[in-house]
Chain A
Amino acid sequence: MNKLIAILVSLSILITGCWDKVEINKRIFVISMGIDKFEGQQFKSRENEIFPNFIPDRYKITFTYPNLALIVGDGAGEATHKITSTGININDIQKNLNTHLEGVISFDHIKLIVLGEEMAKDEELMKEVLDFIERSPEIGRRIHLMVAPGEAADILSTKLPQPIPLGLYVRDLMNKPTRAARSADADIGYILRNLHESDAAIVPRINSSKNEIVVAGAAVVKNYKMAGWLGEMETLYLMFMLDKVDTATGNVIVDKRILPILVSDSTTKMTVSKKEGRIHVAFNIEAEGSITQHGFALVGQTFDPKYIRRVEKDVEERLEKNIARTYKIIREKFGADLIQAGEYLRKKDPKVWDEVKDNWEEYFTKSQSEVNVRMKIRRVGVTR
């Protein structure tokens, strides 16, 4: 009996568990990955002639992994090493790269996945890539997926002014508390969830010039492929709709004077209802902010509640108009339910959702919007 127990216990220990021991310094931590569509010349090898049923390469993938010596401070050179390869799919390329690299490729610490524009517009490839990301136990849900105009490989070649791996740079850029709302706040978890729930999502846009990275604007993904771009301002107003604004700046003109307004706190309540056969989406936004600049030596004006109220009114009107316009673009141009109105109905008003879910896209395209902004300027600075 004891023998049996001993065997059972040791079996249960020995045939389970983590037998994938690889020392941390023998791993290659991919920090950022660029995925492009590969349409170039297929490499004709002798083997392809022997095996004529070969599948052509479809992806070009760029990995960057950090130069560890530089991180601990005794090394020189680039912050990251870069390696590019083509293949049928990501797993294929990973296996392929094992013949190049001395370490074991690990996605445990991947921070950034950049999709090339062409790649993002290909529905089939996009579905494969999204599934790869979702299925992988190594890739976390809080990392960033972005779309680059042009080639993703070019983004990964950017030489940043500091010797920081690009993925970490973008992570810090996206996670700072005063992140500008012009870049879409969407990590992989959010994107995947939106795609599952409403077939549409926004993916931040990443752009690079010679040694600069800009994350602003967004790509609209609908039906698992990229449908088009949203500009920086459009993205900003979309973020207002989604209640994802940490800080935003805007300018108003009051008495022919241009005033910059810093919106520092904003909450949005979205309500969706069905009125007279149409979907009605209402955004109630309550925002707080401050005047960061006024005219020099204009004493007293910023202490006048009536004047402040006028400024607030101007902000409210501008925001209301611009948000409504953005809504129209989303509705008419893309027909993409980026604001998750359908999901709102499904959760809050299932009866209505049952009526409209079969023709939801049509309903959404014809939906009405109503924006109410209440702006409160709390701070006017240290001078009168």
Chain B
Amino acid sequence: MGFIDDLFQKKEDERYKIPVEKDFKKNFDAIKEILTNCDDIIYRDFNVGQDQKMRFAIIYAEGLADKNLINEHILQNLMILSRMANMNIETLKQKIYEVIKDGTVAVTDLREIEDVNVAVDVILSGETILILDKWDKVLMIATRGWPMRSVSEPSTETVIRGPSEGFTETLRVNTALVRRRIRDPRLKIKQFQIGRRSKTDVAVLFIDEIANNNVLRMVKERLDKIDIDAILESGYVEQLIEDNWRSPFPQIQNTQRPDAVAAALYEGRIGIIVDNTPFALLVPSTVVSLLQSPEDYYERFFISSAVRVLRFIAMALALTFPSLYIATTSFHPGMLPTDLALYVAGTRMKVPFPAFIEAFLMEAALELLREAGIRLPVPIGSTIGIVGGLVLGQAAVQAGIVSPLMVIVVALTAMATYAAPSYSLAASFRLLRFILMALAAFLGLYGIIIGLFVLLFHMCTLKSFGVPYLSPFAAAEMTLGDFKDVFLRVPLHMMRKRPSYLHRSDNDRLSKKTADIFSWEGDRNEQK
């Protein structure tokens, strides 16, 4: 425990501290001065007590704080119900603050604050500040509550079998969604703020004993180094903490699915949830983890394994198919079966472009179509699909600008690309495809092989938070067990250990007892 406490200890606030004073007016004005010209801040001062002599004030940001809660459980209690308090006035005066704190404000979370700057911060997070007369502290009352999107199906990574809950834009809801899947006190959620001005909440989630301390330290150190004015999306964090910004490959997985985060945490990985975005980050990531979908574990292993294999083939296609077309048609027609070669030659007879230009045009058109389809509103988006896909493709082929085979190649490549569960990985593959196409146009198959080799070299050197990106293929020590979950997904009862590349202390996923049920011996015993 000491390690985590050390790692996440509170830093001293470097700003100049403005202490809260005993004078009600001074405190009130100090806050008002910092928040000057912020018209969404509501100030409400009022008198409390039977004789109305005590001056109180609450300050909150409209829209961020729950107004009903303030009205019913703070103002009503303080202004109306407190008058009926039938208490010895003398003791009341002495203990007024304790009474209010412990007996009057009917809200779950209260905190005493001694710094005006901190008070302003909490107001801007949606809490309410209660200033009391003649007290050298102000009271923070947890009143966060703003209109938010309800938990709905994630727009990416949809699955057929599996929960349809997705993260929302509110951090607390997101951590709750994960917590619901891990009722283990060892699930730690450490929260801090990043961004000088945005002060965005960032939560680091991990399961103690399963997560690797080195990775955890790396995450924390890198997060600490971020000194930026604002974090608007987890993409900011991702780009600021990733290992190699020059690499075309995403080194941090992002997901909208709480079950994916929970599964990753159980594997010993670490989740980073950023406020205001439904995309959580998972580190460390390997190329294999980016090619897996949560559904792989929900379906029976035959189907999952088949899908895995299909996915690997799809990735190979997505990366190389157009470049193979260019290389074979321009350099090595002898590699095609004769009948196909003659057919290709025949269809390309009237095509006015070399294969590279043809492929480049079509791939560029596809990218355009995709980009246009995303940006446009949904009803027009489908029109673009029809115009671009059907009309343009058909017309191009009929006009003889491109060969029909090219259209098939492009369409197949597009489908293969989007078979990747990770959009980021698919995007990097799309980019690399163009480079391979250029190499193929220059050097034929030789160029493709050179390109793939360079890519492989690069991937071998790449690491994500100390874990080789190509694990388990390129791990320092090869562990056969890790291959149970790469090309195939072996039945769950055979996956007794967690993946080994993370080097954690607790490695057992499935107890031997459960695994034994599936052995023949267990079967026979049951029959007796």
| Chain A interface residues toward B at CB < 8 A | 13, 16-25, 27, 29, 31, 66, 68-69, 71-72, 106, 108-109, 111, 138, 168, 171
Contact = CB atoms under 8 A, between A and B. Distances in A.
Nearest to B341: A109
B342 A109 contact: yes
B331 A18 contact: yes
B338 interface: yes
Given A13-B450, A20-B331, A23-B354, A69 B445 contact: no
B65 interface: no
A18 B349 CA distance: 23
Nearest to A13: B450
A21 B330 contact: yes
Nearest to B347: A72
B343 to A, nearest CB: 6
A111 B333 CA distance: 14
A138 B330 contact: no
B348 interface: yes
Q: Max chain A CB contacts within 10 Å: which of B329, B345, B347?
A: B345
Interface in B424-465: 441-447, 450
Contacts of B442: 17
Contacts, number: 77
A168 B339 contact: yes
Interface residues on B, range: 20 to 34
A13 B453 CA distance: 13
B100 interface: no
Contacts of A22: 330
Interface of B is mostly: helix
B355 interface: yes
A72 B344 CA distance: 9
A17 B344 CA distance: 24
A13 B443 contact: yes
A16 B329 contact: no
Q: Max chain A CB contacts within 10 Å: which of B342, B348, B447?
A: B342
Given A24-B329, A24-B345, A111 B443 contact: no
A24 B335 CA distance: 12
Closest 9 CB pairs of A and B: A108-B334, A72-B346, A68-B346, A18-B444, A25-B348, A24-B329, A17-B443, A17-B446, A109-B338
B324 to A, nearest CB: 13
Contacts of B22: none
9 contacts: A17-B443, A17-B447, A18-B444, A18-B445, A21-B444, A23-B329, A24-B329, A72-B349, A106-B334
Contact of B333 (A27, A66, A69): A27
Contacts of A17: 442-444, 446-447
Interface of B: 328-334, 338-339, 341-349, 351, 354-355, 441-447, 450
A21 B443 CA distance: 8
B338 A24 contact: no
A79 to B, nearest CB: 11
Contact of A21 (B331, B351, B450): B331
Nearest to B330: A21
B346 A71 contact: yes
A25 B447 CA distance: 21
B343 A71 contact: yes
B447 A109 contact: no
A25 B341 contact: no
A138 B338 CA distance: 13
A214 to B, nearest CB: 23
Contacts of B349: 25, 68-69, 72
B427 to A, nearest CB: 27
A16 B446 CA distance: 9
Given A23-B330, A24-B333, A18 B342 contact: no
B328 to A, nearest CB: 8
Contacts of A168: 338-339
B332 A29 contact: no
A88 B138 CA distance: 107
Contacts of B346: 25, 68-69, 71-72
Q: Max chain A CB contacts within 10 Å: which of B330, B343, B351, B355?
A: B330
B335 to A, nearest CB: 8
A16 to B, nearest CB: 7
Contacts of A138: 334
A220 to B, nearest CB: 30
Contact of A71 (B328, B342, B351, B446): B342
A18 B345 contact: no
A171 B342 CA distance: 15
Nearest to A66: B342
Contacts of A71: 342-343, 346
Nearest to A24: B329
Given A27-B333, A111-B338, 16 more contacts: A17-B442, A17-B446, A18-B332, A18-B446, A22-B330, A23-B330, A23-B355, A24-B328, A24-B345, A25-B349, A31-B338, A68-B342, A71-B342, A72-B347, A108-B333, A168-B338
A311 B296 CA distance: 63
Nearest to B338: A109
A136 to B, nearest CB: 11
A109 B333 contact: yes
Contacts of B351: 25
Q: Max chain A CB contacts within 10 Å: which of B333, B338, B445?
A: B338
A189 to B, nearest CB: 16
Contacts of B338: 29, 31, 109, 111, 168, 171
Contacts of A18: 331-332, 443-446
Contacts of A68: 342, 345-346, 349
Nearest to A16: B446
Contacts of A23: 329-330, 348, 354-355
Contacts of B342: 29, 66, 68, 71, 109
Contacts of B328: 24
Contact of A24 (B339, B355, B443, B444): B355
A90 to B, nearest CB: 18
Contacts of B443: 13, 17-19
Contacts of A20: 331
Nearest to B328: A24
Contacts of B344: 24
Given A17-B446, A18-B445, A25 B334 contact: no
B341 A29 contact: yes
A65 B229 CA distance: 70
Contacts of A106: 333-334
Contacts of A19: 443
A143 to B, nearest CB: 10
Contacts of B354: 23
A75 to B, nearest CB: 9
